[in-house]
Amino acid sequence: MSFDYFQVQELLEHGNGDKRWKEYFRFRRALYQPYAAKNLQPNLVSEANWLLRSQYASASEIGIFVDVGDICYIDFGQAYLNEAGYQHFGIIMAKCRGKVLVIPMSSNVAQYRNAFDDKKNPTGKMHLMQLEGQEGLIKPSVLFLNDLKYINSARVIDVKGHMDPNGDTFKEIQRRMFIILNQS
């Protein structure tokens, strides 16, 4: 069973016709409200996605097929401070046994401006990399190279675009990824 964002929203708002779902999410809203008010909706969406997808070993079990170079909309789940969490885009860097190595990204303008670039921002932050003009991305985005992680591919909500893994941009992402991995 695969749910898109709007179906999860429907589940959160109306319980999908089941009184138990509606009551469950009413209770969870009340629980999250005092602690995570600004992240209330993303928390609930992540929780609903986890309830619906956590039993799958990979995205292919729910009809989503991912490959290296895919730009995907992903539910990273709850996050601690300075981690990418909730629903964000990410690029698939590798695949292994139902898991994918992914670099989260955002269209956050401030982070984009802070990203290192040889020509445009040589004093920028090396763990941030600008990315624009890619299939599936409407806005310029920034890669969070220090948030690189393996995740179960069932966290992928949708494949939005694709970058050629043999292309220059992908190779540059890999190069920068290895620099970040080798920093102490």
Same domain, residue pair 50 and 73: no
The per-residue pLDDT for range 88-124, each reduced to its tens digit, is 999 999 999 999 999 999 999 999 999 999 899 999 9
Look at residue 1 in the predicted model and tell me its pLDDT: 43
How many structural domains are present in the chain?
2
Residue 73 pLDDT > 60: yes
The CATH number of the domain where 136 resides is what?
2.30.30.110
The rounded distance, in Å, linking the Cα atoms of 98 and 95 is: 7
Q: Are residues 134 and 150 in the same domain?
A: yes
Give the pTM.
0.85
Q: Are residues 74 and 138 in the same domain?
A: yes
Residues 131, 50, single domain; the answer is no
What confidence tens digit (pLDDT) does each residue in 153-165 have? 999 999 999 999 9
Whole-number pLDDT of residue 184: 58
Domain stop point among 15, 34, 55 = 55
Q: Are residues 23 and 49 in the same domain?
A: yes
E strand segments, the chain: 70-75, 87-96, 99-106, 115-116, 125-131, 141-144, 149-152, 156-162
Judge contact between 115 and 163, C-beta under 8 A: no
Question: Which pLDDT tens digit goes with each residue over 28-40?
Answer: 778 777 776 777 7
User: What is the distance between the alpha carbons of residues 28 and 139, in angstroms, rounded to a whole number?
Assistant: 33
- Per the DSSP assignment, residues forming a β-bridge with 89 are 73, 105
Q: List the domain range (segments joined by +) for residue 35.
A: 1-55
Q: Which of 34, 55, 76 is the last residue of a domain?
A: 55
What's the mean pLDDT in 38-61? Answer: 87
pLDDT at position 51, please? 85
Task: Verify that 41 and 95 share a domain, yes or no.
Answer: no
| Secondary structure class of 70 (helix, strand, coil) | strand
Q: Are residues 72 and 142 in the same domain?
A: yes
Are residues 68 and 38 located together in one domain of the fold?
no
Query: Could you tell me if 70 and 156 lie in one domain?
Result: yes
Same domain, 21 and 86: no
pLDDT of residue 2: 46
117 and 176 together in one domain: yes
* Pair (51, 66) in one structural domain: no
Average pLDDT, the chain: 88
| Beta carbons of 87 and 42 less than 8 angstroms apart | yes
